[in-house]
Amino acid sequence: MSDQQKRLQMALEAAHMAIWDSRLIDGQVIDGTVSWSAKGAALLGLEERALTQPFRTFLGFVHVDDQGPLLEVMQEAVRQRDGYALQYRVVWPDGSERWLAAKAQVFTDADGQPDRTLGIIWDITEHMLRELLIAERKELAEVTLSSIGDGVITTDPYGKTRYLNRVAEQLTGWSNELARGMDISQTLPLVDERTGEALEHVAYKCLQQRQAIGISAHSQLVTRDGRHIAVEDSAAPIWSRDGDILGAVVVFRDVSHERKLSQQLSWHATHDTLTGLINRREFEHLVAGALHTAKQDGHVHALLYLDLDQFKVINDTCGHGAGDVLLQLLAKMLQAQMRDSDILARLGGDELGVLLPHCPLDHARQIGEQLRQSIRDFRFAWDSRSFELGVSIGMVEISQDSKSMSELLSAADQACYLAKEQGRNRIHVYQESDVMLAQRHGEMLWISRLNEAFAHDYFRLYAMPIVHLNDSQEHHDEVLIRIRNSQGDLILPGAFIPAAERYDMMLSIDRWVIRAVCAHIESVRDSLPPIEAMAESRRRAPALYSVNLSGMSLADAGLHDYITEQFVQFAIAPEQLCFEITETAVIANLPKAQVFMRQLKAMGCRFSLDDFGSGFSSFGYLKALPVDYLKIDGVFVRDIASNAINRAMVKAINEVGHVMGLKTVAEYVEDEATLAVIRELGIDYAQGYAVGSLRPLTAGVD
């Protein structure tokens, strides 16, 4: 062997390569032979010695899937009289697989006919396994990215788009192929949803600051076809092993539904759902802001408190549905009368508030007079009847001398009260002397009226049906109290109950109602002949009457004994009485309320939790109370047919109530659409003008 051949042999061995020498017969590879060096034979898993074998024998070592392609590549090279390179698998005698790579050149004889191929061959098994592992990981990563619910876009170090997963393609409108190489600000344009202006792109910030950028809350994606989609987006750098930034990965997702729901919840937290006006809490927040500017900058504002006259008459005569329509119409009409900067709010049932920013008292009086006259001129038609309205307006100035937000609201309320007392349908501007005057006058007036009602038996009881939606035989009424005074006016509880609570007369009123209901039950029972009464009792369960109890009565240690005395005196079955208590009243008197309720429950009385859902910890307190019925707050029921959030609230309350073994009652079911939803949700009882109207409890009571 010459020195040159020795050097070649050493070089080949150093590179773990061997000689690959294939002889041809009549230009055919398959009919020829293969000669191996000792290292070459070892590549086939054979003994390490020089070897010549028929090509067909060699082909038997090649993986069955690679035999055809290998022969085709070599034969084509022979035909072209050119070189070739290929990779293929061989199967060793022990069954293991190895990858080999070969490079060779075609040589010709003296006549120019191909007679051999000569080249080198080496083992690339480890390299191929690495490549396969990398390919597998890449495929796994792409499958993972394609299957997750978030959009993913990767970039190079300059913000050029490299890859979009399936969700990113769907959201942006760009395909992976079209987007590749484009600036990410083009494939993922982001704008501020509040201003519509382009945002500093999260990917560029990430690349510039060399750190992860957290989720932004007000981003909108502008799609390829110009649509705007609310998204949450974040970005993180892609690092090399050497600490260089290879690019960025941006993750984003469609949050249109969540953001819309959040906006709806935010709107509902600050607005009245019936009228669309801002609610009391938000109004108080704005009044506090106005007071701050008055004290800090010397600005002057005006606060108005409006109480509609005759509204309760319309509500009781035509139903809550008519009252709701009236409030909606008035809200639109009054807003049209006011400046853009003025703020109109609904503070309660028929009470409205107006904040007039930067408005001196004289100008505020003019605006108030315009509002009063507009309401006075308004005619409300319902079921062929027409109603006139009035409004009593209390007005107070917000200035540097004003004390606090709560005192401002109290002052406006007092001024409105005096406007009512002075004849209604007028404006009263608050003065310092009004507070003591109103308190003194109100105290004397209501103590006198309530004592007169007790003395002359002016109290009247009315019944509002609570209708079981599946059992037509059940008879259940809520008992409501009114005052019919000496002039024949019917005074609603909204007028005298607050006063009774203020002047500690609720205990007496609650006891009067309990005794009167027991007497009514006795009179109904005794009015039927014995045989008829027996048949009636067999046909259906005795009527159930729900009586409202105040928070003061819940804390009254003697009420339990008083109720027991009435049961004994009138021979009443305790199962015929259900006591309605409000969530807030129970929470305020929780320990005493629990004892009181358990005592009466042991006797057979039932309990209903009124206005459920209006508190902040409803479900938590519910577990601690032995109640039988949940009356879902009417604020959730009223527009349930059109308000998805209220529907979800009612559904949740109903389901939790049923899990706890309680019956559910929906208040303010005023129309067929609401009733249909209530039935669909599986609520047990309905109360409202869609299922029954208010009637005197005792025949002959007007």
pLDDT confidence tier of residue 461, bands split at 50, 70 and 90: very high
Give dist(CA 585, CA 627) in Å, integer. Answer: 14
pLDDT at 139: 63
Can you read off the two tokens belonging to residue 297? Answer: 């900058």
pLDDT confidence tier of residue 1, bands split at 50, 70 and 90: very low
DSSP E strand boundaries for 430-503? 459-465, 467-468, 476-484, 490-491
CB 20 within 8 A of CB 121: yes
Q: Measured in whole angstroms, how far is the alpha carbon of residue 317 from the centre of its chain? A: 37
- What SS3 class is residue 319? coil
Return the CATH number of 449-696, one of 3.30.56.10, 3.20.20.450, 3.40.50.11540, 3.40.50.2000. 3.20.20.450
What contacts 542, CB < 8 A, 6 or more positions away? 573, 575, 576
* Pairing of β 476-484 and β 459-465: antiparallel
Average pLDDT over residues 180-206: 92
pLDDT at 702: 41
Examine the pLDDT at 403 and tell me if it is beyond 50. Answer: yes
Q: Kindly report, residue by residue over 625-651, the tens digit of the pLDDT.
A: 889 999 988 888 888 988 888 888 899
pLDDT at 532: 54
Give dist(CA 207, CA 210) in Å, integer. Answer: 5
CATH topology of domain 3-129: Beta-Lactamase (3.30.450)
With DSSP H G I counted as helix, E B as strand and the rest as coil, what are the percentages for the chain, rounded to 5?
45, 25, 25
CB 517 within 8 A of CB 494: no
Average pLDDT over residues 246-250: 91
Give dist(CA 566, CA 444) in Å, integer. Answer: 32
557: number of Cβ within 10 Å = 9
Examine the pLDDT at 434 and tell me if it is beyond 60. Answer: no
The alpha carbons of the chain give a radius of gyration, in whole angstroms, of 44
As to burial, measured by CB atoms within 10 angstroms (0-12 exposed, 13-18 middle, 19+ buried), residue 94 is exposed
- What SS3 class is residue 250? strand
Phi/psi at 210 (nearest 5 deg)? 55, 40
What contacts 140, CB < 8 A, 6 or more positions away? none
- What SS3 class is residue 635? helix
In the chain, domain spans: 3-129, 148-254, 266-432, 449-696
Instruction: Classify 148-254 by CATH class.
Output: alpha beta
Give dist(CA 362, CA 533) in Å, integer. Answer: 69
Of 347, 440, 446, 441, the closest CA to residue 394 belongs to: 347
Is 148-254 the same fold as 3-129?
yes
Can you read off the two tokens belonging to residue 447? Answer: 């103590």
Give dist(CA 586, CA 615) in Å, integer. Answer: 11
Q: Kindly report, residue by residue over 605-626, the tens digit of the pLDDT.
A: 999 988 776 554 456 667 778 8
476: number of Cβ within 10 Å = 21
Give dist(CA 183, CA 201) in Å, integer. Answer: 11
Average pLDDT over residues 44-67: 91
Return the CATH number of 266-432, one of 1.10.645.10, 3.20.20.140, 3.30.70.270, 3.90.700.10. 3.30.70.270
Give dist(CA 273, CA 647) in Å, integer. Answer: 13
673: number of Cβ within 10 Å = 14
Of 114, 49, 117, the closest CA to residue 79 belongs to: 114
Average pLDDT over residues 244-256: 89
